[in-house]
């Protein structure tokens, strides 16, 4: 059984926790380019990372409002590939800078 250890603290059992990583076809290169997976499906929860207003060609709109909308389009595309919608997103507490 493979386990992830940080210091002397067991974080999680890799074999039973990490089920699959997925992304939309147009962003498939993100895994190798950025070393992240936009969608991590653990079986019980789906986590998202690297959700930005970046386009598949790695360009970003110059208008901040368009960047914001592109971010939510990117999130929606990844929700859909995971078989989810915005209705599946739960509340989140946190601070962003």
Residue 36 lies in a domain: yes
| Residue 58: per-residue pLDDT | 87
Per the structure, the count of domains in the chain is 1
| Residue 25: per-residue pLDDT | 87
Q: Name residues whose C-beta falls within 8 Å of residue 13's C-beta, 6 or more positions apart in sequence.
A: 1, 2, 3
Residue 96 lies in a domain: no
Tell me, rounded to whole angstroms, the distance of Cα 15 from its chain centroid.
Answer: 20
CATH number at residue 31: 3.30.1330.40
pLDDT confidence tier of residue 67, bands split at 50, 70 and 90: very high
Residue 33 lies in a domain: yes
Nearest Cα residue to 75 out of 64, 59, 67, 58? 67
Residue with tokens 């991590």: 40
Range of the domain at 16: 3-88
Buried b (16+ CB within 10 A) or exposed e, 76-93: ebbbeebebeeeeeeeee
pTM metric for this prediction:
0.70
pLDDT digits (tens, 9 = 90+) for 11-63: 445 555 557 888 888 888 877 787 777 888 888 888 888 788 888 888 999 99
CA-to-CA separations, 57 to 27, 54, 89, in angstroms, rounded: 9, 8, 27
Residue 94 lies in a domain: no
């Amino acid at each position: 059984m493979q386990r992830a250890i940080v210091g002397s603290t067991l974080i999680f059992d890799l074999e039973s926790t990490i089920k699959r990583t997925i992304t939309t076809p147009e962003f498939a290169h993100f895994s190798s380019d950025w070393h992240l997976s936009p969608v991590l499906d653990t079986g019980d929860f789906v986590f998202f990372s690297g959700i930005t207003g970046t386009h598949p060609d790695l360009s970003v709109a110059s208008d901040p409002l368009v960047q914001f909308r592109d971010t939510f389009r990117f999130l929606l595309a990844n929700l859909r590939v995971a078989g989810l919608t915005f209705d599946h997103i739960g509340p989140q507490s946190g601070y962003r800078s």
